[in-house]
Chains A and B, each alone.
Chain A
Amino acid sequence: TQLLEQSPQFLSIQEGENLTVYCNSSSVFSSLQWYRQEPGEGPVLLVTVVTGGEVKKLKRLTFQFGDARKDSSLHITAAQPGDTGLYLCAGEDGSNYQLIWGAGTKLIIKP
């Protein structure tokens, strides 16, 4: 059974601090997606990474796909209260196109 482990499960920090959340697996994925979900809403796609070693930046968010395509990280610089939410990663199983989901990192940024 493929699993995606996200860490930490919960993180609460002050506005302006930097943070990194992780998504790890023993399986290789064809691609990996990051989503953010706010309370009472569905997940919203932030980025898709496809190539091993790929780095994508979205303003203050930096996403990296591991060289072996088994893991990924999300780094937020100078976190803001608007970054608060549940961050989900999902890896694509190339054999059947299904997404394998992590349980999420709940992030709270305090003003």
Chain B
Amino acid sequence: ETGVTQTPRHLVMGMTNKKSLKCEQHLGHNAMYWYKQSAKKPLELMFVYNFKEQTENNSVPSRFSPECPNSSHLFLHLHTLQPEDSALYLCASSPRQGAQEYGYTFGSGTRLTVV
């Protein structure tokens, strides 16, 4: 399978739950990104991994915890979320961090609702 695949597509979780979002790419890319997308707001960069090393943490609350076991897989572990964390969470990849001429390849996202 080509492209960037995110699972699950939809997730409803209580504020005390623990869940994980998964992202997988088979493009041979070495940089992977987590973004949060809320209605009518610019995409918010959360985390960046370049060659499996975390290079950016954009002041994200500790209730979000990323994991990148290899260049093809990226996880976002969630615990004790707040209702304002409800959003579309997008994973993206690129050949390497900074290779903007190639753009990003995005997954379809996980629509997260915190109740």
Contacts and interface: CB of A to CB of B under 8 A. Distances in A.
Interface of A: 4, 9, 30-31, 33, 35, 40-45, 48, 50, 88, 90, 92, 97-104
Given A30-B100, A31-B100, A42-B4, 11 more contacts: A42-B6, A42-B92, A42-B109, A43-B43, A45-B104, A48-B100, A92-B100, A99-B104, A100-B42, A101-B42, A103-B42
Interface residues of B, number: 22
B109 A41 contact: yes
Interface of B: 4, 6, 40-43, 45, 56, 90, 92, 97-98, 100-109
Given A42-B4, A42-B92, A42-B108, A33 B41 contact: no
B90 A42 contact: yes
28 contacts: A31-B100, A33-B100, A35-B103, A35-B106, A40-B108, A40-B109, A42-B6, A42-B92, A42-B107, A42-B109, A43-B90, A43-B104, A43-B106, A45-B105, A48-B100, A48-B101, A48-B102, A48-B103, A50-B101, A88-B43, A92-B100, A97-B97, A97-B98, A98-B45, A99-B100, A100-B42, A103-B40, A104-B42
A31 B104 contact: no
Nearest to A30: B100
Contacts of A102: 42
Contacts of A44: 106
A25 to B, nearest CB: 12
Contacts of A4: 42
Nearest to A106: B40
Nearest to A98: B45
Given A42-B92, A97-B98, A103-B41, A33 B103 contact: yes
